[in-house]
């Protein structure tokens, strides 16, 4: 386990939290638990848990990369939109 302080988390009252078996940290779902286990307790995991972490991490990384590309595309479109408006109104 790392020496970093754990962030404050809240689980909605109508849901049952998923608890880390190593440190008791409460998480909202199994995906978050797999990521927590891999990042905080990797040396203590079984081979199956490590494989589940790697799959979840890869999926999360893919989703983040897609978000970054979409966000960059939106910023580029916004920039050129302002450029066109400026070109039309400045004349």
Output the pTM of the full model: 0.75
**Helix (H) or strand (E) run with residue 62 in it:** helix 47-90
pLDDT digits (tens, 9 = 90+) for 20-79: 998 888 888 999 999 999 999 999 999 999 999 999 999 999 999 999 999 999 999 999
Supply the pLDDT for residue 2. Answer: 56
Q: Which residue would you say has higher pLDDT here, 9 or 23?
A: 23
Share of the chain above pLDDT 70, in %: 96
For residues 70 and 58, the answer to whether their CB atoms sit within 8 Å is no
Residue 59, both tokens: 């999926």
SS3 for 6-60, per residue? CCCCCCCCCCCCEECCCCCCEECCHHHHHHHHHHHCHHHCCHHHHHHHHHHHHHH
């Amino acid at each position: 386990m790392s020496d970093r302080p754990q962030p404050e988390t809240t689980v909605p009252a109508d849901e049952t939290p998923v608890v880390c078996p190593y440190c008791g940290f409460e998480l909202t779902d199994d995906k978050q638990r797999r990521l927590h286990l891999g990042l905080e307790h990797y040396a203590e995991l079984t081979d199956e848990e490590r494989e589940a972490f790697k799959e979840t991490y890869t999926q999360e990384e893919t989703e983040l990369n897609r978000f970054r590309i979409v966000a960059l595309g939106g910023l580029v479109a916004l920039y050129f939109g302002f450029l066109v408006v400026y070109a039309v109104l400045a004349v």
